[in-house]
């Protein structure tokens, strides 16, 4: 398997599906639909939807059938970025090398874009009822709703905001990152596994994989905010420092943060032993995450 080729192919499939599932840019009222598409198709690695597909593949499920749920995870992720960039939040002017949504369409429209993307995500999840038993769709809906809400992504964002300009413990920082970033990774992997027909043992292993992989991703993100190339990461480096956020490098130092990322990556891969070659993509994804430069 060539990881880069497969990642590109799956990302293209996700993009094609998103283009199909989203309202066309010219559909009335055109401004909101154009603005939704502006952020959804602003680039990005599509890691969350690809994780849904890869988890489904690892347990022997039908990858094509799970695409609506995969795209729903990307819409939720994109909504969170649009809102995260707002002046009341991180006040960022650029995302992935382009002006952020509120800089192009205005703050009010950006808020509505986030609202619309989140709502549309659950419409896509509901569509999966055509292909899966109702109990599985209900379970996945609850998983994703929990991950996106105040016990997941929103909870992490709240604690992150309340922690600005404060000295926090490693436990609080881990809470922030496991919820603000890790919750959607966990939901993506679990959703793909559940719909793919995972056994209890397989689901447990993939859940632990997702948690360690998400931790490695976040630590690497923190490192890139210090060491990254602005031209590659698509936004100014040092935004965490500007917003006075506590990060793994600021709390533990660069070297220990790198070691922690590597340890989390190794722990993630260790959870994939029972899957053999079926999880080769998931293994390669972990190596990609900790070696990426953007």
Exposure string for 264-285, b = 16+ CB within 10 A, e = fewer: bbebbbebbeebeeebbbbbbb
Token readout for 135 is 């109990």
Beta strand residue intervals within 27-75, DSSP E: none
- What's the pLDDT tens digit per position in 32-52? 999 999 999 998 889 999 999
- What's the pLDDT tens digit per position in 198-242? 999 999 999 999 999 999 999 998 898 887 555 544 545 555 555
In contact, 185 and 193? CB cutoff 8 Å: no
Query: What is the architecture of the domain spanning 3-291?
Result: Orthogonal Bundle (1.10)
Residue 95's DSSP bridge partners are 98
Tokens 């849904």: give the residue: 52
User: 0.85 cut: is pTM over it?
Assistant: yes
Token readout for 71 is 């795209």
Gyration radius from the chain CA atoms: 18
HSE of 42, CA atoms in CB hemisphere, 13 A: 26
Percent of the chain with pLDDT over 90: 77
Percent of the chain with pLDDT over 70: 93
Instruction: State how far the Cα of 43 lies from the Cα of 37, in Å rounded to an integer.
Output: 11
Q: Find, among 156, 119, 140, the residue nearest to 70 by Cα.
A: 140
Does the pLDDT at position 282 exceed 80?
yes
Q: What is the pLDDT of residue 237?
A: 52
């Amino acid at each position: 398997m060539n990881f880069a080729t497969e990642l590109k192919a799956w990302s293209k499939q996700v993009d094609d599906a998103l283009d199909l599932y989203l309202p066309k840019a010219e559909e009335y009222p055109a401004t909101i639909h154009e603005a939704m598409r502006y952020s959804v198709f602003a680039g990005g690695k599509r890691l969350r939807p690809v994780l849904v597909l890869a988890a489904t593949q690892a347990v022997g499920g039908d990858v094509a059938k799970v695409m609506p749920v995969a795209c729903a995870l990307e819409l939720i992720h994109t909504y969170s970025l649009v809102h995260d960039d707002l002046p009341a939040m991180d006040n960022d002017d650029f995302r992935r090398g382009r002006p952020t949504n509120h800089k192009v369409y205005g703050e009010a429209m950006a808020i509505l874009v986030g609202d619309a993307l989140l709502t549309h995500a659950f419409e896509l999840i509901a569509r999966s009822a055509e292909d899966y038993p109702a109990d599985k769709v209900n379970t996945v809906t609850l998983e994703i709703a929990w991950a996106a809400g105040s016990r997941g992504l929103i909870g992490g964002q709240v604690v992150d905001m309340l922690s600005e300009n404060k000295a926090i413990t490693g436990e609080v920082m881990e809470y922030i990152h496991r919820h603000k970033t890790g919750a959607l990774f966990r939901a993506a992997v679990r959703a793909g596994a559940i719909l793919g027909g995972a056994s209890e043992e397989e689901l447990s292993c993939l859940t632990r994989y997702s948690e360690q992989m998400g931790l490695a991703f976040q630590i690497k993100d923190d490192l890139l905010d210090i060491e990254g190339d602005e031209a590659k990461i698509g936004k100014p480096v040092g935004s965490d420092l500007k917003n006075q956020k506590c990060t793994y490098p600021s709390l533990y130092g660069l070297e220990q943060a790198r070691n922690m990322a590597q340890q989390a990556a190794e722990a993630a891969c260790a959870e994939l032993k029972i899957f053999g070659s079926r999880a080769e993509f998931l293994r390669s994804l972990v190596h990609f995450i900790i070696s990426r430069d953007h």
